[in-house]
Chain A
């Protein structure tokens, strides 16, 4: 894979998105048109706009989780809209982290291993990966008695912290954060904000969605209103 480092880390150009619902009369829903976004290293950009404006949709497209209808998305020089699956998989392993609002894991796998997994897929030795996972779980104040348990039964706030620990355990050059401070109390919110600030300081390019305005103002350098890219339902 070729990493072009002289441009922005994340660059979205003239992006559009349409959902076609084949089983509902082939209804076409154009949700986004002409989206542009550019995020440099060490910069954090907030996506704002009312619910349904397409913040998460844009984030999922950058991650390669949703397909683009047209336009380009480059992350670390790779055009996600054109890349082969194995290139996107490699991008996600090495370059692009994602803290989503959902935790999807194999049931019964201990939290410690869930958090260590991104390092294991990078080929980090299992002892080191577990040690770093322990340090990260400690940092997000997840009680040690929970480390050996599967996070599937955890509370929302605990699952959120497992997600954050997983997303910050590797120094991804680009990060997508979908409500990283949601359902967290003051102390833990503070931990997550420091993690974001540290990631910026080491040069990560970050795109975030924050309903927490105070958090947004603190860590984000700019904000982009995605409502400007929203399309109304086609006739």
Chain B
């Protein structure tokens, strides 16, 4: 078996400041990896380097492509990488408006991604769009409404539908439940868990919320000052943290 993603020595500097340094890990099909750390720990920099939104200064990101097997996505040409980000990859932004077209209907937002991979039949596209709105619990009646008329939680679910409609194998998520009400967070977490399980998705989830990773991620990576200080099974890292920083992080969570 080959890992779906094999990351080797990713480093990114902003001038003299270290974004992230020498990050290596692999991700296997069906696994969800959480990346936690405080603001400025480099977790978002790393995610953006992996997803091809930022060019790292060093390192390799090997992805097991459907046709050619493992390829270093950083060495791919722009058209090939763009195709990957429309098909096998998906990116869920913290702010749904960064991942949605706010001037286009909900159905259009989902259908657009299908059209980008060659779907042309209007009936089929609309049917698939409605199917996906249903899966993320958005009523069919809202298919022609713009996301501007949606609540924050609905916008986030629409963004997820738009991302998953093409059946990606790897989803990058940047604080997917950030900024949502706690009650909406729970519903979104349950939805994501079900989708991950049913579609066999692999995902990399960046968050500062330890409760979110406990429920969503199989594995955990803890970052501080651009470095990975600890990795392991999520429950093991949270219940028996080895690094001083992780111990501080875990013991700082407010209990309810």
Contacts and interface: CB of A to CB of B under 8 A. Distances in A.
A67 B183 contact: no
What is the predominant secondary structure among interface residues of chain B facing chain A? helix
Contacts of B247: 21-23
Interface in A6-28: 19-23
B239 A88 contact: no
Interface string A165-202: 00000000000000000000000000000000000000
Contact of B186 (A22, A65, A67, A107): A107
Interface string A196-213: 000000000000000000
Interface residues of B, number: 25
Interface residues on A, range: 20 to 34
A186 B219 CA distance: 40
A120 interface: yes
Count chain B CB atoms within 10 A of each CB in A21, A22, A85, A107 and give the residue with the most: A85
Interface in A103-137: 104-109, 120-121
A108 B28 CA distance: 29
Nearest to B232: A85
A23 B248 contact: yes
14 contacts: A23-B244, A23-B251, A64-B233, A64-B236, A65-B239, A65-B240, A67-B242, A85-B31, A86-B28, A86-B31, A106-B186, A108-B187, A108-B190, A109-B186
Interface of B: 28, 31, 183, 186-187, 189-190, 193, 197, 214-215, 218-219, 232-233, 235-236, 239-240, 242-244, 247-248, 251
Which A-B residue pairs are the 10 nearest by beta carbons? A22-B244, A107-B186, A66-B240, A108-B186, A106-B190, A85-B233, A85-B219, A86-B28, A106-B189, A109-B190
